[in-house]
Amino acid sequence: MIIEHKTVIADVKLVADFQRYISYWRKRFTEQPITDFCSVIRINSTAPFEEQDNYFLLCDVLPEDRILREELQKQRLKQILEQQQQERNDDNFQGSCMFCNEEFLGNRSVLLNHMAREHTFNIGLPDNIVNCNEFLCTLQKKLDNLQCLYCEKTFRDKNTLKDHMRKKQHRKINPKNREYDRFYVINYLELGKSWEEVQLEDDRELLDHQEDDWSDWEEHPLSAVCLFCEKQAETIEKLCVHMEDAHEFDLLKIKSELGLNFYQQVKLVNFIRRQIHQCRCYGCHEKFKSKADLRTHMEEAKHTSLLPERQTWDQPQYYFPTYENDTLLCTLSDSESDLTAQEQNGNIAIISEDTSKLRALKQSSILNQLLLHESLKN
pLDDT in tens, 89-122: 999 999 999 988 889 999 998 999 899 888 888 8
Say whether pLDDT at 232 is over 90: no
**Has residue 239 been placed in a domain?**
yes
Domains: count for the chain: 3
Which pLDDT does position 188 carry in this prediction? 84
Indicate whether 330 pLDDT > 90.
Answer: no
Highest mean pLDDT: which of 213-227, 270-284, 330-344?
270-284
- For residues 290 and 282, what is the distance between their CA atoms, to the nearest angstrom? 15
**209 vs 203: CA distance, rounded Å:** 10
Are 96 and 73 contained in the same domain? Answer: no
56 in any annotated domain: yes
**Do 62 and 37 touch, CB atoms closer than 8 A?**
yes
Residue 203: what pLDDT?
Answer: 58
Least confident of 7-21, 89-103, 214-228, 350-364: 350-364
Q: How far apart are CA 143 and CA 170, in angstroms?
A: 12
Say if residue 151 is in the same domain as residue 112.
yes
Task: Give yes or no: residues 197 and 95 share one domain.
Answer: yes
* More confident position, 209 or 222: 222
Give the C-alpha distances (Å, rounded to integers) separating 201 from 109, 187, 194, 197, 206.
29, 14, 11, 6, 9
7 - beta bridge partners?
56
The answer to the question of residue 369 being in a domain is no
Three-state SS for 151-211 is CCCECCCHHHHHHHHHHCCCCCCCCCCHHHHHHEHHHHCCCCCCHHHHHHHHHHHHHHCCC
Residues 249, 321, single domain; the answer is yes
> Which domain-ending residue is among 58, 78, 98?
78
Pair (228, 320) in one structural domain: yes
Candidates 245, 132, 236; CA nearest to 184 is 132
Cα–Cα distance for residue pair 255/257, rounded to 1 Å: 6
Identify the domain boundary among 34, 49, 78.
78
**Is 21 domain-assigned?**
yes
Q: Residues 103, 196: one domain?
A: yes
Domain co-membership, 295 together with 250: yes
Distance CA(37)–CA(9), nearest Å, equals 12
CA angle 317, 322, 324 (to 5 degrees): 125
Cα(14)–Cα(16) distance, rounded to whole angstroms? Answer: 6
Is residue 22 included in any domain, yes or no?
A: yes
How far is residue 240's CA from residue 87's CA, in Å, rounded to a whole number? 28
Residue 233: per-residue pLDDT = 82
**pLDDT-based confidence at residue 143 (cuts at 50, 70, 90):** very high
The residue among 78, 101, 125 that closes a domain is 78
Residue 140 lies in a domain: yes
My answer on whether 134 and 188 are in the same domain is: yes
pTM of the model: 0.50
Residue 350 is assigned to a structural domain of this protein: no
Q: Is there a single domain that holds both residue 150 and residue 180?
A: yes
DSSP per-residue string spanning 88-151: HH---EEEE-TTT--EEEE-HHHHHHHHHHHH------GGGB-SHHHHHHHHHHHHHTTB-TTT
Q: What is the pLDDT of residues 150-174, one digit of tens each?
A: 999 999 999 999 889 988 889 899 9
Alpha carbon distance 285, 359 (integer Å):
39
pLDDT class for 345, splitting at 50, 70, 90?
A: very low
pLDDT at 336 over 70: no
Same domain, 94 and 191: yes
DSSP 53-95: EEEEEE-TTSHHHHHHHHHHHHHHHHHHHHHHHHHHH---EEE
Q: Could you tell me if residue 83 is inside a domain?
A: no
Q: How far is CA 137 from CA 61, 132, 195, in A?
A: 39, 9, 22
CA angle 204, 209, 213 (to 5 degrees): 150
Give the count of beta carbons closer than 10 Å to the beta carbon of residue 301. 13
Query: Is residue 7 within 8 Å of residue 56, measured between CB atoms?
Result: yes
Q: What angle (nearest 5°) sits at the alpha carbon of residue 301, between those of residues 297 and 304?
A: 80
Listed range (17-21, 138-142, 221-225) with the worst mean pLDDT: 221-225
Closest by Cα among 202, 197, 201 to 178:
197
Same domain as 323, residue 228: yes
User: Is there a single domain that holds both residue 69 and residue 100?
Assistant: no
Between 348 and 257, name the one with better pLDDT. 257
Write down the pLDDT at residue 338.
42
Q: Does residue 280 sit in helix, strand or coil? A: strand
Q: What is the domain range of residue 292?
A: 224-330
